[in-house]
Copies of this chain bind each other. A is one copy, B any other.
Amino acid sequence: MRDYRVGLIGTGFMGRTHVLGFATAARAFEMPVRLRLAAVADVTEAAAEAARRSFGIERATGDWRSLIDDPAIDVIDITAPNALHGEMALAAIGAGKHVYCEKPLAPTAAEAREMTEAAEAAGVVTQVGFNYVANPMLRLAREMIGGGELGEILSYEGRHAEDYMADPAAPWSFRHDPAGGGAMADLGSHALATAEFLLGPIAELMGDAATAIRERPAPGGPRAVEVDDAARAFLRFESGVPGLVTASWVATGRKMSHDFEVHGTKGGLYFTGERLNELQFYSAGDAAGRRGFRTIVAGPEHPPYARFCPAPGHQLGFNDLKAIEIAGFADALAGGPEPFGFRKGLRIQRLVEAVRDSSAARGWVTTAPGEEGAMP
């Protein structure tokens, strides 16, 4: 079995998640290739070394370029700030390495397109970290929708809401700069990915990107927030189904509302990311007086749950979703399809920009996938 040595760049929130995901994936899955977390890079030697020690990784470096140059590294895994994704990925691709990159792929669709085209030209395998679609309950939802269990689909609502920016005393940061993206880019991108994962391509949308907290403390006085913190978009899927997504990082009290609700002529589903092991299913075909939303709890009947536990209801965690994502990347390295390659990351970034553009133009825009490729 072939070994792929991974060089991880970035050791913050997502760095930790990737480290745990690799560890779990290696044990939970019988992957067709072996992924070895061989080295870690951060902005300083000290930070990298601290992470190396904490995570139990062999090598550390304060210079991410040394991982690119290292012939012993096969895969570059990028969890650095979004603004650096492009430079790092392009360097890795240039060195013929496969690239696993956290979402969003890049701050702009233009940069995401450059990265995508470079990767495709180089023939390397890519993956973008949209981990929520790795959830067995989302896979179940997609299977039920695709298999007709809900009948003809009538409408869709999705959202991703958290509250980490709800306190107006939280200081201005790079996230509040246009390059930072905003709530639709940071969180709504997940909601858009799930929407296309479940219902197929969005053909048209109309955004409303609002800024609820308009300035934030900064050294030298309040500074304007230039991105959305509570955004929405009306959707029309190619199938004609009308829909909606919302995104917010000022949703006070919400910690992980990666939610959706879908209605069909024969049934309905809803899901909240705050209870990631549950899918609510209403079957209009149940007997009269006995109908109601069922709380389906994740179990071994919902692949790949059984890789983690043979008994239902024991619950997967957030990091387990990352392990599933990583197992999919391993399959792609072995020649399988990319579960969520750069082209899909580009697609999501295109949709994010369409929300912003249509909001600014106060009108609908078309988002037919065209050249940038469609989900799923």
Verify A301–B320 contact, CB threshold 8 A.
Answer: no
Contacts of A311 in B (CB 8 A): 13, 162, 164, 255-256
- Contact stretch, chosen from A50-58, A59-67, A171-179, A338-346: A50-58
Known: A166-B263, A254-B268, A315-B256. A155 touches B294 (CB 8 A): no
Q: Name which residue of chain B comes closest to A159, CB basis.
A: B157
Out of B252, B275, B294, name the residue touching A294 (CB < 8 Å).
B294
Out of B274, B286, B295, B314, name the residue touching A297 (CB < 8 Å).
B274
Out of B255, B286, B301, B313, name the residue touching A256 (CB < 8 Å).
B313
Copies in the complex: 4
Indicate whether A308 reaches chain B with its CB closer than 8 angstroms.
yes
Chain B nearest CB, measured from A209 CB (Å): 9
Contacts of A94 in B (CB 8 A): none
Verify B309–A318 contact, CB threshold 8 A.
Answer: yes
Contacts of A167 in B (CB 8 A): 265, 284
Known: A27-B20, A234-B232, A248-B263. A310 touches B13 (CB 8 A): yes
Verify B157–A246 contact, CB threshold 8 A.
Answer: yes
Chain B nearest CB, measured from A237 CB (Å): 11
Q: Name which residue of chain B comes closest to A13, CB basis.
A: B310
Residue among A230, A289, A308 facing the most chain B CB atoms (10 A cut-off): A289
Verify B253–A267 contact, CB threshold 8 A.
Answer: yes
CA distance A148 to B111 in the complex (A): 44
Out of B155, B274, B293, B316, name the residue touching A230 (CB < 8 Å).
B155
Indicate whether A302 reaches chain B with its CB closer than 8 angstroms.
yes
Contacts of A265 in B (CB 8 A): 166-168, 213, 252
Q: CB-CB contacts of A203-238 with B at 8 A, as 1s and 0s? A: 000101010110000000000000001101010100
Known: A251-B155, A284-B166, A294-B294. A317 touches B313 (CB 8 A): no
Q: Name which residue of chain B comes closest to A233, CB basis.
A: B234
Indicate whether A334 reaches chain B with its CB closer than 8 angstroms.
no
Out of B140, B150, B268, B317, name the residue touching A320 (CB < 8 Å).
B317
Interface residues in A236-288 by Cβ distance below 8 A to B read 236, 241-242, 244, 246, 248, 250-256, 261, 263-268, 270, 273-276, 278, 280-284, 286, 288
Contacts of A315 in B (CB 8 A): 256, 274, 276, 315, 317-318
Chain B nearest CB, measured from A191 CB (Å): 14
Verify B310–A318 contact, CB threshold 8 A.
Answer: no
Indicate whether A28 reaches chain B with its CB closer than 8 angstroms.
yes
Indicate whether A71 reaches chain B with its CB closer than 8 angstroms.
no
Out of B20, B155, B163, B288, name the residue touching A250 (CB < 8 Å).
B155
CA distance A310 to B200 in the complex (A): 32
Chain B nearest CB, measured from A167 CB (Å): 7
Verify A251–B268 contact, CB threshold 8 A.
Answer: yes
Indicate whether A76 reaches chain B with its CB closer than 8 angstroms.
no
Beyond known contacts A24-B24, A157-B246, A256-B315: 13 more, CB 8 A cutoff = A16-B28, A17-B309, A163-B263, A166-B263, A212-B241, A230-B263, A252-B265, A252-B267, A253-B270, A256-B314, A276-B315, A290-B294, A316-B317
Q: Can you name 6 A-B pairs with beta carbons within 8 Å?
A: A13-B311, A23-B27, A27-B55, A230-B263, A274-B297, A275-B275
